[in-house]
Amino acid sequence: MNDGSHGIESIEQPGSTISELLAAGEVAGAAVELNRLSPAAQAKVIADLTPEDAAELVAQVVDISAVEILDQLPTSFAASILGEVVSDHRADLIAELPSKTAQSILEQMDDVEAEDTIALLSYASDTAGGLMVKEYLKFDVNQTVRSVVEDLQENSERYRKMDVQYSFVCESGRLVGVLPLRDLLLSPRQSTLEDVMIKKPLSVVDSTSIQDLESVFENHSFVGVPVVNESGDLLGVVNRLAVESARSQRDRSDYLKSQGIVGGEEVRSLPLWDRSRRRLSWLSVNILLNIVAASVIAVYQDTLQSVIALAVFLPIISDMSGCSGNQAVAVSMRELSLKLIKPTEFLRVWLKEISVGLVNGVALGLLIAAAAMLWKGDALLGFVVGTALCVNTMIAVSFGGMVPLVLKRLGVDPAIASGPLLTTLTDMCGFFLVLGLASMLMV
C-alpha cells in the first residue's frame, strides 16, 4: 500500500508543479520539469492537461520526446493536441510516429487539418513545401477593405494564433498580391484589395531548397514568404524562423551523428536500452577499428621498447593529424550541404586540401621536431617525429576532405561514418610512420 501511494505521489507531484508553471505562463520551465520524467510519467502528466496546455508544452520539448509522449496517449487525445499545434510542426511529429499510430491520429483529426498535414507530409523536410505553414490569411482580390476588416474582427479569436502582419490576396486561388495590415487599416473602407495591395509579390515555389530559402531571407528582410506551386496557386507561407530552425536542427543533428549518437537525437528521458543501443552501435564499430590501428604498434613493439621516447609522441601525432582531418571533413560536409561541391569532385577537393596539408604539416612538423630535440637533445628523434607528423597531416586532410564525398556517393551518411574511418586511418598511418622511420633510422 505504501509503495503504491509513493508511486502515485512521485508522478502526481511533478504534474502539479508543471500545471502551476503553465498557469503562471512559464512554459519553458514546465518543459524542463517534464523532460526530467520517464516517458510513461510524461504521458500521464500530458493526459491530465487541456489540449491547449498540452500542445503548448509539447511544442517546447524536443521532437523525439514529443513523439514518445504522443505515442502513449489515446489517439483521440493525441489528435486534439496536434490540432492545436502549428501545421508544419504537426506534420513533423506525425512523420516521426509509427505509421499505424499516425494513421489513427489523422483519422480522428479535423478534416481540414488532416488534409493540410497530409499535404505537408508529401514534401521533403528541407524544401519550402516541407517548411511552410498552412495558417495564413487569404482574401479575394475583389473584396473591399471594409469586408476584410469586418472579417478580422469577427474571427479575431481564430486569427489570434496566426501571423497577421500580412494577408495574401488571391484571384481564383492564384497569388496576385500581398496586403500589409497597416495598409489595410489605413485604406478607405470602400476600396477593393486590388487597389491597395502590393502587386507581384516575391514568392517561392514549393520545391525550393532550404539553401535557396536561406539566400532569399539573407537578401530580404521579410518575416515570411508565400509559397506557391508551378501554377502560382498559394499553398502556404514559409517563415524566416522556420528556415533558421531547420538549419540549426540540421547542424545539431550532424554534430550528434559525428559524435556517435546514431539517430541524430537523444535526450536522457529516453529508455535506458534505447539510449545504450544508439551509442553502442557506433562504439562497437569504433573499438574494432581502434584494435586494427593498435595492431601497428604490436608489429613494431621491439622498436618502441628500444626508443621508449617514441611512446610520448605517438598520441600527439595521432591526435594532431586527427584534428587536421576533422577540419577537412567539416569543410567537405558543409560544402556538400550547401551544394558548393559535387560528390564526384575528388581531384578538386584533394588539390585544395593537400596544399593546406602541406603548409600546416610542415609548420606542425617543425614545432614537434623542435620540442623533441629540446627535450631529448636528439636531432634524429626530432626528424622522425617531425616528418611523421608532416606526412600524416597531409594524409589526414586528403582523406578527411574526400571521405564525405565517397560516402555520399555510396548513400552512407557522412556525418556518421567519416569520424571513425578518419580516426582509424590517422592512427594507423601515424603509428606506422613514426615506428617505421624509427626502425630504419634509429634502431
User: Rg (Cα) of the chain, in Å, rounded?
Assistant: 29
CATH code of the domain covering residue 57: 1.25.60
| Secondary structure (DSSP) of 325-387 | HHHHHHHHHHHHHTTSS-TT-HHHHHHHHHHHHHHHHHHHHHHHHHHHHHHH--HHHHHHHHH
pLDDT at 210 over 50: yes
Question: How far apart are the C-alpha atoms of 257 and 396, rounded to whole Å?
Answer: 20
Mean pLDDT of 133-149: 92
The three cell numbers locating residue 340: 558548393
In a domain, residue 410? The reply is yes
Which of the listed residues 98, 122, 146 is the one where a domain comes to its end?
122
Q: Which pLDDT score, from 0 to 100, does residue 330 have?
A: 84
In a domain, residue 257? The reply is no
The tens digit of pLDDT for each residue in 155-205 reads: 888 887 777 678 899 999 999 999 988 888 889 999 999 999 999 899 999
pLDDT at 367 over 90: yes
In a domain, residue 224? The reply is yes
Q: Which pLDDT score, from 0 to 100, does residue 11 have?
A: 41
Identify whether the C-beta of residue 332 lies closer than 8 Å to the C-beta of residue 338.
no
Kindly indicate the confidence band of residue 8, based on its pLDDT and cuts at 50, 70 and 90: very low
- b (16+ CB within 10 A) / e for 289-313: beeebeebbeebeebbeebebbeeb
Q: Which pLDDT score, from 0 to 100, does residue 12 have?
A: 46
Question: How far apart are the C-alpha atoms of 99 and 80, rounded to whole Å?
Answer: 18
For 113-121, the CB contacts below 8 A with 24+ separation are 113/82, 113/83, 113/87, 116/87, 117/82, 117/87, 117/90, 117/91, 119/235, 120/87, 120/88, 120/90, 120/91, 121/91, 121/94, 121/95
Question: How far apart are the C-alpha atoms of 256 and 298, rounded to whole Å?
Answer: 33
What DSSP state is assigned to residue 174? E
Which of the listed residues 63, 88, 122 is the one where a domain comes to its end?
122
Q: Which pLDDT score, from 0 to 100, does residue 130 have?
A: 93
In a domain, residue 399? The reply is yes
Do 211 and 315 have their domain in common?
no
Do 390 and 437 have their domain in common?
yes
Q: Which of 218-232, 279-293, 358-372, 399-413 has the lowest mean pLDDT?
A: 279-293
For 256-260, the CB contacts below 8 A with 24+ separation are 257/413, 257/415, 257/416, 258/415, 258/416, 258/418, 258/419, 259/419, 260/286, 260/419, 260/420
Question: How far apart are the C-alpha atoms of 48 and 88, rounded to whole Å?
Answer: 25
In a domain, residue 168? The reply is yes
| Secondary structure (DSSP) of 255-306 | HHHHTT-TTS---TTS-HHHHHHHHHHHHHHHHHHHHHHHHHHHHTHHHHHH
Do 50 and 170 have their domain in common?
no
Do 157 and 222 have their domain in common?
yes
Q: Which pLDDT score, from 0 to 100, does residue 65 have?
A: 83
Range of the domain at 160: 138-249
In a domain, residue 331? The reply is yes
pLDDT at 14 over 70: no
The tens digit of pLDDT for each residue in 394-440 reads: 999 998 899 889 888 887 777 666 777 787 888 888 888 888 888 88
Of 25, 77, 75, 21, nearest to 46 by C-alpha is 77
Q: Which of 182-191, 278-287, 295-304 has the lowest mean pLDDT?
A: 278-287
Do 104 and 142 have their domain in common?
no
Do 377 and 435 have their domain in common?
yes
Beta bridge pairs of residue 171:
174
From the centroid of its chain, how far is CA 407? 19
3-state DSSP assignment of residue 206:
coil
The tens digit of pLDDT for each residue in 222-276 reads: 889 999 999 999 999 999 988 988 887 776 666 555 555 555 555 555 666 766 7
For 91-94, the CB contacts below 8 A with 24+ separation are 91/117, 91/120, 91/121, 91/130, 92/63, 92/125, 93/58, 93/63, 93/66, 93/67, 94/121
In a domain, residue 62? The reply is yes
* pTM for the predicted model, two decimal places: 0.62
pLDDT at 46 over 80: yes
Do 185 and 320 have their domain in common?
no
Q: Which pLDDT score, from 0 to 100, does residue 302 have?
A: 75
CATH code of the domain covering residue 177: 3.10.580.10
The tens digit of pLDDT for each residue in 78-101 reads: 999 999 998 999 999 999 899 999
In a domain, residue 58? The reply is yes
- For 74, phi then psi, to 5°, come to -55, 140
Do 279 and 387 have their domain in common?
yes
Do 214 and 175 have their domain in common?
yes
As for how many domains the chain has, the answer is 3
Classify residue 73 by burial, with Cβ atoms within 10 Å: 0-12, 13-18, 19+: buried
Identify whether the C-beta of residue 403 lies closer than 8 Å to the C-beta of residue 282.
no
Do 109 and 151 have their domain in common?
no
Mean pLDDT of 48-71: 87
Do 93 and 163 have their domain in common?
no
Give me the sheet containing 138-140, strands edge to edge.
Answer: 138-140, 166-171, 174-180, 198-199
Which of the listed residues 72, 97, 122 is the one where a domain comes to its end?
122
CATH code of the domain covering residue 405: 1.10.357.20
204: left (phi over 0), alpha (psi -120 to 50) or beta: beta
CB contact set of 329 (below 8 Å; sequence gap of 6+): 400, 401, 403, 404, 414, 418, 419, 422
Do 299 and 242 have their domain in common?
no
The tens digit of pLDDT for each residue in 102-137 reads: 999 999 999 989 999 999 999 998 899 999 999 999
The tens digit of pLDDT for each residue in 256-265 reads: 555 555 555 5
